Amino acid sequence: MEQIKVGITQGDINGISYEVIIKTLLDSRINELCVPIVYGSAKVAAYHRKALNIQNFSLNIIRDAEKAHLKKSNVINTQDDNIRVELGKSTPEAGKASVAALEQAVRDLKDGRIDVLVTGPVNKDNIQSEEFDFPGHTEYLTQHFGSNQDTLMMMVSDLMKVGVVTGHIPLKQVPEVLTQELILRKLRVLDKTLLQDFKIRKPRIAVFGLNPHASDSGLMGDEENDVVIPAIKRAKEEDIMAFGPYPADGFFGSSNIKKFDAILAMYHDQGLAPFKAISFDEGVNFTAGLNIVRTSPDHGTAYELAGKNEASPTSFRNALFLALDVYRNRKEYQDLASNPLESQDKSED
């Protein structure tokens, strides 16, 4: 089996990122599935290991991802080892360290030194600077890998897959940004990723309305009639199986959730709040539409848990597994697309 090199960014050094990374990599079976490469600091990793009282764990220090030990978990130092860890606190130093790790991992991903990227949770405030002016990972990676592509922030669990039309923007801007064309573009991305990344043939997509009760036929807004419904119709003309618009409030508690392969919500909290209420401990953040594979746990830095040995690694572990699955599924899809079976139909003489 191909040994996939997984780049793992350290995230915020004062949160739970190292805890969930270490707990995941403690399982030696991980090294049979992939080659983990942590971008961060061996010293900071050791600090967290000691704070968590985790025994018999260390990272193999390397300078280049191409030199990674194929049977061990590796680390590339991306910062000064003298950086100070302040558990549970947001600090400028932690923000700079988060960005440094991400930038090095992205360079290696571009150069083919790693195959997929799993990002540790960052603090969206302390990462901001003149050099880094992005709301989060999705926007940063879109600029580096998807400038000519549409991307989609997705949350993935065994129970559901949820994408959002608008991501990290103020709620008051959502009606202004929402257009037929934008919804259609996001539906295209979602339909394609379900097919090539998740191996779902003819995926069925539920589309939410923007307003309460999907506006009740225009009683509480015009966006459904003017924007959402026309976008769904246009998607169907492109053989995308999109349905709706559905009222968001009742959808998650009904049997409808089992009838669809994915959901397209109109804005961030409309899709992510119920997703995290249902699948918080196991959900994965996946950036669809990029030509590279990136996943992340669906939780944040959780400063309140830092150093207490209480954080669950399940979401991070699932993020790593999903990255591997998507990488293999995408390669299989591309191989099939580039070598289609010749038609067996022959014209009659």
Backbone angles phi, psi at 118, to 5 degrees: -120, 120
Which residue(s) pair with 163 in the sheet?
Answer: 154, 264
- 162 by Cβ neighbours in 10 Å (0-12 / 13-18 / 19+) ranks as buried
| Residues of the chain below pLDDT 70 | 1, 147, 340-349
* C-alpha R_g of the chain: 21
Region(s) of the chain under CATH 3.40.718.10: 1-149+290-332, 150-289
Containing 308, the helix (H) or strand (E) segment is none
In the numeric block, which tokens belong to residue 224?
């459904």
Upper half-sphere CA count for residue 49 (Cβ side, 13 Å): 17
How confident is the model at residue 349, as a pLDDT? 40
Quick one: 150-289 is in which CATH superfamily?
Isopropylmalate Dehydrogenase (3.40.718.10)
Beta pairing, strands 152-156 & 284-288? antiparallel
pLDDT tens, position by position, 206-223? 999 999 888 887 778 889
pLDDT at 343: 36
Tokens of 118: 């799993």
- Contact between 308 and 322 under an 8 Å Cβ cutoff? The reply is no
Asked: is 1-149+290-332 a CATH 3.40.630.30 domain? The reply is no
Going from the C-alpha of 82 to that of each of 47, 79, 202, the distances in angstroms are 12, 8, 53
Measured between its terminal Cα atoms, the distance across the chain in Å is 46
pLDDT score of 341: 61
pLDDT score for 348:
43
Helices 137-145 and 92-110: crossing angle in degrees, nearest 10, is 30
Cβ atoms within 10 Å, residue 255: 6
pLDDT computed for residue 345 by the predictor = 42
Q: Which amino acid is at 78?
A: T
Report the DSSP pairing between strands 262-265 and 60-62.
unpaired
* Residues 6+ away with beta carbon under 8 Å from 301: 11, 12, 14, 15, 16, 17, 90, 121, 122, 123
Query: What's the CA gap between 116 and 4, in Å, rounded?
Result: 8
* The pair of three-digit structure tokens given for residue 100, joined into one six-digit string: 């440094």
pLDDT value for 147: 63
pLDDT score, position 71: 94
Cβ atoms of 301 and 123 within 8 Å: the answer is yes
